[in-house]
Each structure stands twice: as structure tokens, then as C-alpha cells.
Structure 1
Amino acid sequence: MHAQELFCLDPSSNYGFVNIDVINDSLIFLDPSRFHRNVQNFNGDLALEKIFDFCETVLHFYETGEKSQAKQLLQYSGENNLLHFGMSSGKSAGKGFSEDGLKKVFDTISQLSKLDDEERNDINVWSIVIPGFGEDHLSDLSISLVGQEIADYSESVYKKLGIATSARMEKVGNTWDVKSHCFVDARSCLPIVEGKPYRILLCPTQLAVKRYGYSTQSFINKIVLAHKQTEGFNNGSLVREKKLKNGSVKKTPFSKKDLQEKELKKYSGDTYKYKQYALDEIIKYPKYLDELPEGIGLENDNDINSFC
């Protein structure tokens, strides 16, 4: 069953929220890079402020020696089952960080201080460079940070569509509080289904993606190596020469495969070599971040895939 059917809505219409499967997870993610969009009844400005403040708080704890506090926040995946986003039903792929991986995570965080505030407090950058921070973790954590904004949006939908709600507000997940710099309860009135409050949250379709526009590997291949390939060919430092039968010499750029092997040679033995290489390149050339592509959004409310 999907949300529109649950609320007895016309399935041929678009309502602006993702028509989630209310039982199984849907293979879609919340994309924080879309919070700047003007989405009715979703406070994108506050959502962005929460993302920035969370990243700043983690970095502050680390830099002041309060690593246990930073660890607690980093381990907090806070998967929200009421939204039914994620990799698979009944499984939280945002599992936090292993003990073995935490040292590398903190090493990475310490290096983020070399970036300007805008980049070092960008959760999208974190997903590229921090070990163990994959797409599901990014989505789960983003949902937890802006839980109240999602809850407020959900209530606005119920009101607009004339769906009755419970008289009492209930906890529907977690949310980040920019004043206390910690997670607090997200609270909302729930929709009434068959005479009882139904535990569900709704997400604006504009903020959901089927796939993020980047990963660590695609950032390296499509942005970093593409620049180095072009520059190296133009200045003659990365050129393959092949002598032809007529005696002329044909010049071609290094392939990305050969270039990657050359670039990552010094990272040999590093389990997280791709993440570390991406971080090193971002520190040297932060303008690379301006080229991050947008994710693949939903064409309409029903453009989702569910796990059965």
C-alpha cells in the first residue's frame, strides 16, 4: 500500500509529496543539496542552517578534544522508519562508523579544517571524503537533522487535503536544534486512518532523488581526473606518443584508468585511498566542488521503486 491509497486520494494526480510505500522501504534518498529550492511549507533555510550547525558542532567537539561527543554524533544514523526511505526494508544501512574506521574518520575531520567554513561544514563534502559515509548514511542523517521540518511539511499536507489529525502531538523522530546544538524530539500530529493515528511522514517530491549525482569514485573520475587529463595533455606532461608508419607521431592523453593508477600510487595500502585522494584534491582545488552534478530526481510523486 502507498500513501495516496492510504489517504484515499486520486492516484492520477500529483500532490507534491513522494507516494511512499507505507510498508516497505523505497529506493530513494533525501538530498540535502536540494534544500535551497523553494518548496512550499518546507523551511529550506532552517534545514540548511541545521546541516551547517551539525557539521560545525562535530568539528568543534573534535578540535576541543571532546572526541567522545563527536563520536556520539557521528555514530547517530537515526534512520526514520516513518519515511520509508533507504536501501532495504527492515535494514538500516546507515549503521554509523565501526571502531576501526573511527580513527580514519577523525583523521579526515582534522584535515577538513584546511577548508573554508562553507566547504568544511557541507555534508555533501563529508559524504565524498569521510570513510563509511555512504549514500544511505547521508540520507538517514539528513532526515534526522531536519526531522521537524519534514514533520511540519507533513502536517501542512494533511491540512491542505482535509485529512484529520490527532489532537495530541507525538514524537515522530529526531531533529537537530541549532540553539542547544544537539538532537531533540521531532513532534507532530499524526493523520487519522480508520479512526486511529497512523505513524507516517511525507517528503516533498522535489527533495527526493533516486540516486545522488556523485559518489567518491564518480567525483574522482568525472571531475578530478577529467581536469588532470585535459591539463596534462595541453601542457604536455601527460601525453602518450605513438609513432605511425608514415613516420609521424600521434599524441593522445593518458587514459583515466592509467591516470588514476598513477595518481593513487602513493596511497597504496590505504584502505580508504579513494576517500583520502578525493579529500587531498578538494583541499588543493576546492573549486572542484562547484562542478558536483545534481542527483537524479523523481519525475512525479509515483516515480519510486520499493523493496518487497
Structure 2
Amino acid sequence: MRVSKRFKLGRTQPTLDFVDVDYNGDTGLFISPKALANLPSDWGDQCVSLVQSFFSTVLAHITAGHHGEAERLLKALREPNETHLGLSTGKSRGRALGDSSAHDVWNALSNSQAASSGLIRDLEDTVLLIPGIGVDVISDMTTNIIRGPLIDYTQRMAAQYGIELSPDVPSGPIWNPTTKDWFEEFVDLPMTPQGKLLLVPKAIVRRHLAYNLGEYYRFHVLTHLQDVELRANSQLVQITKKTKKRFVTKKDVEEKYGNSKKMVAEITVNNPSLLDDYKQKANSRPYLPLDHDLIAATEGTPKPDWDALLQSVLDIPTGNVDAKRYETAVESLFTALFYPDLTNPVPQSRIHDGRKIIDIDYTNMAKGGFFNWLSKHYPSGRIFVECKNYGGKVANPEMDQLARRFSPSRGQVGILVCRSFADKARFATGCRDTAKDGGGYIIALDDKDLKALVHERKTNGQFQAWTLLSQKFRALTD
């Protein structure tokens, strides 16, 4: 039973910003600290700050010898069943943390030279250097630490999608970075037959962490030990018959040193540049959100029905009477169409102390294609969408309305969607004049353009060049 069905949302996973979990079990995805760091929003920054605050506090207590306090803080990291993410089979029951395992985490950190030496700086470093800490523990820890922002996100999604909230639900431990301690309160949350529910943005879940112990061990630690054995001219050194070249095999090195995480940590403490080099290379690789196909495969849900999403827009009668239906249908289409480039759709977003409203406000987190190019050349951290459910009448007032939503801090790129234009070329000229006058960049789309965009998405998959959008934008700047 999925959240969308339980609360009768009338939506499928591609049109939802959160993971549409089966609340009777667990979906095999994890909240990734590195994915949080890649999220260009105040909410993402808040989450990253909380993770850093908690982890640095625990390490500081351990370094100062305050082991009881460190273990007390870790014991609050309990089974986060309310997200329904992880490895459990059958009923959700948490993956890794509880009293005994929290003690194990404390014990591993307190006895780790890598931790006490300051070599470990980020939570995800522990998967490389601390015995007993893997993806499940890191995911559970992260979920607990960002519970406060997840509650806020869940409440916002509930308001946005019409999900019923129950009052006075115990929140569970919430990390306070000011007091550097946990607190609890009663909050409004959705409830299912399995208990309270926390919704999680699709953009922050992954199937694997950014750092991989096997990769670090094989291509950095073992390579370093090969060089050590060669320089020492040890018994592991062999010589090729033809070229007389000296070499040491990784197999021989592994047999001599082993492959335990404890050994990896010991080598790294004495050679910290190995970790720095690995993290630099790992961080330079795209750590991309899961696309629709991967999410569908993981959840066992259908892939996007692009034709149905498009038709739901085209079938709405033109006119102000159905303006709200049109805006909702466009948001559903765009949320699926532009994911994972554009995320976190906020309908009826208010600015200027609530005096002005943006129909749909998206966060631009594109790692490739047109929207990524935009982010590198123009203020476009947020993309604004205005929906006009009429044709022929769209002219300067509608253009000016969207332009007044722009600012250097919010963003200066928007999309105006309508059914048709009486004179499309003339409206495009007006958009270009607005851009040249410094009023921002407005991409105008009608029903025909939506059909072209859907065709492009069906043909090319994710991380689009978005040829049509690119052409329209370049016409604004020529």
C-alpha cells in the first residue's frame, strides 16, 4: 500500500516530489549525506548543517574523553521506521540502530585512531574507516539527525497534496544544533496503520553512498602498498621475463596485509593523502539523483505515462473557470518531465511578504543539459512557472507579471505556459525586449510546445539538452 493510494492523491510516483513508499514494508533506498550536500536549497543546507553539528559534537566528546555523553547522544539514534526506506523485508523495523548497536558505534569511534586524529571529518568518511559502520548505519543516523527538517517537509507536502495530518504525534528525537542535544515535541504528521509517516524527497535518496570502501581499498590503499613493497625491494617483488620490469601484484599485497577496515584505517592514518586523493576523485564524479526508471525498478511501480500526463493538460477546457485545474495539470506534467533537473515544486509560492504569488516555483539542481548550462551562465537557482489557461489574449501584462517575480537572488529565468498565442512571433519578440532591458528571461510555451517537449523526453531520457527550450532561450539573447 503506497502513500499515494492511502491518501487518495490521484498521482503516481513521477509526479510526486517525495518517495511514494509502501508503508507496509521498506523501499530499498537510502538517505545520503552527500546527496543532501548536492541539494541547492535552504532546506538542504539546513540538513547538512545538522549532520555536521551532530557528528562533530560526538567526535568532540570522544576526543575530550566524555565517552558517556557521546554514547548518550548516539543512543537517541533509534529505528527510523517512519520513512519506510532501507533493507528490512516485511514490516518496517529499522535497519541498524538501537541501544546495543549505538554502543557499538560509540565503541568503534572511541577506539579509532582515525577518529581521534581528526582524519574523519564527515559522517560518510566512517564507511571507509570505522569498522561496523556501513550504508545502513549511515542512512539511519542521517534520518534521525534530519528528523526536524523531514517533519517540516512532510507537513509542507501534506498541505500541497492534500494529505490528512493527525495532531499531537510524538516527534521522536530532534537534534538542536544550538544546545547540541536532542529534544522531543508533539507535531502534526500523517498516520498509517503502521504508525506515523515521514516523507522523504526523491532528490536525496540513492541506492549507494558516494564513497565505496572496496573502491578506496583496491585503487588507493593497495596501490600505495604496492609502491611500499617495491621501494623496500621486499619478497613480494617479481620481475618480468622479457622486460625485467619489477612489479608487485595486488593479490600478494592483500594476502600480506589483509583487507579489513581496521587495516585500511591504520594505513590511512599514516598516509592521510590517500583519503584526500580518493575523496577528491569521488567528489568530482556526478552523484546523480535516481531517474524515473531506477525508482520504478526499485519500487516496482510503473514508469511515467508521458502521453497521459500530456493529455491531462490538453483535455482541460480553455478559460478562467478551469484555471486551477490547468495549473495543477501543468505542475504534474512539469514535475515529471523536468525531474531530476528541476525539483521541489512549490505551487502558489509567495514573495514580497506574500503580496505576489508565483504559480509554480522549482529548484534547479540540474547536473547536465540545458538547465545545468543555465545555472552556470544566468541567475537560475529557481525556475518560475506561470500558467495561463487561455489563448490569444496573452500579451504584455502577462509577460510583465512574470518579470516582476524575478530578482538576482531568486532567479531571472521563467516559463510562461498558455494554450496558444494570437501572434506567437510577436510575443517572442516582446520576451526578447524584456530580456535586453534587464527584465529577465521568459520562455513562452503553448500546447504545441508541450507536445514537442514530451516527444523529446520520450526520445532522449533524462538530463536533457532540451533542444526546444535551448532554442527559445538563445532567441532571447541573440
Q: Return closer, same or farther for 1:190/1:71 CA change in 2, 3 Å cut-off.
A: closer
Q: How many residues align?
A: 288
Q: Which residue of 1 aligns with 2:37?
A: 36
Contact 2:171 2:187 in 1 (8 A): yes
Residue 201 of structure 1 corresponds to 198
Contact 1:101 1:132 in 2 (8 A): yes
- What is residue 321 of structure 2 aligned with on the other side? none
Report which stretch shifted further, 5-14 or 58-67: 5-14
Q: Which amino acid aligns with 1:29?
A: F
Equivalent residue letter for 1:259: V
Query: What residue number does 1:48 align with?
Result: 48
Tell me the alpha carbon deviations over residues 117-159 of structure 1, each in whole angstroms, 9 at most, x when there is no partner. xx63310112221222121110001000000111111112122
Change (3 A) 1:144 1:99: closer
Question: How far 1:53 moved relative to its partner?
Answer: 1.4
Letter in 2 for 1:171: P
Q: Which residue of 2 aligns with 1:276?
A: 265
Which residue matches 1:138? 138
SS at match of 1:189: strand
Question: Is 1:106 the equivalent of 2:110?
Answer: yes
Percent of aligned pairs with the same residue? 22
Q: Is the 8 A contact 2:36 2:47 kept in 1?
A: yes
User: Do the aligned partners of 1:76 and 1:141 also contact (CA within 8 Å) in 2?
Assistant: no
Which amino acid in 2 is paired with 1:219? Y
Whether the aligned pair in 2 keeps the contact of 1:77 and 1:141 (CA below 8 Å) is: yes
Q: For residue 448 of structure 2, what is the aligned residue in structure 1?
A: none
279, 299, 305: which is aligned to 1:289? 279
Q: Name the aligned partner's letter for residue 86 of structure 2.
A: G
Q: Is the 8 A contact 2:129 2:262 kept in 1?
A: no
1:254 aligns with 2:244: no
Structure 1 range deviating more: 90-99 or 137-146? 90-99
Q: Deviations over 1:162-198 (max 9, x none)?
A: 33434x35323322110111122265422378xx997
Greater C-alpha radius of gyration: 2
* Preserved CA contact (<8 Å) 1:3 1:20: yes
**2:209 matched residue in structure 1:** 212
Secondary structure at 2:172 match in 1: strand
Match of 1:25 in 2: 26
Which residue number in structure 2 is paired with residue 59 of structure 1? 59
CA RMSD of aligned residues (A): 3.5
Q: Is residue 152–residue 188 contact of structure 1 (8 Å, CA) maintained in 2?
A: no
User: CA contact under 8 A between 1:29 and 1:85: conserved in structure 2?
Assistant: yes
Q: Do 1:240 and 1:252's aligned partners in 2 also have CA atoms closer than 8 Å?
A: yes
> Structure 2: how far apart are the matches of 1:278 and 1:150?
38
Separation in structure 2 between the aligned mates of residue 297 and residue 32 of structure 1, nearest angstrom:
13
Partners of 1:305 and 1:222 in 2: how far apart? 33
2:291 aligned residue: 299
Aligned-partner Cα distance in 2 for 1:144–1:138:
10
Aligned equivalents of 2:161, 2:271: Cα separation in 1: 46
Structure 1 residue runs of 5 or longer lacking an equivalent are: none
Higher relative contact order, chain-length normalized (CA < 8 Å, sep 6+):
1
Query: CA-to-partner distance for each residue in 1:259-299, whole Å, 9 max, x for gaps?
Result: 3334x26x9xxx75345346426635342322336667422
In the aligned structure 2, how far is the partner of 1:12 from the partner of 1:98? 34
Q: Which amino acid aligns with 1:73?
A: L
AA aligned opposite 1:222 = F
1:69 aligns with 2:58: no
Judge which range, 119-128 or 139-148, deviates more: 119-128
| SS in structure 2 at match of 1:249 | coil
- TM-score after normalising by structure 2: 0.52
Q: Is the 8 A contact 2:82 2:198 kept in 1?
A: yes
Structure 1 residues 207 and 87 mapped into 2: Cα distance closer, same or farther (>3 Å)? same
**SS of equivalent residue, structure 1 residue 170:** strand
Letter in 2 for 1:289: K
1:81 aligned residue: 81
Q: Deviations over 1:202-247 (max 9, x none)?
A: 1111110112243433321133334665x6799897864221xxxx
Q: Which has the higher helix share?
A: 2
User: Hey, what does 1:242 align to over in structure 2?
Assistant: 240
**SS of 1:176's equivalent?**
strand
CA distance in 2, matches of 1:105, 1:216: 17
Alignment of 1:147-162 (within 5 A): 147-162=147-162
Contact 2:25 2:84 (8 Å CA) reproduced: yes
Who is 2:95 aligned against?
Answer: 93
TM-score, normalization by structure 1: 0.77
- In structure 2, runs of 5+ residues without a counterpart are 301-478
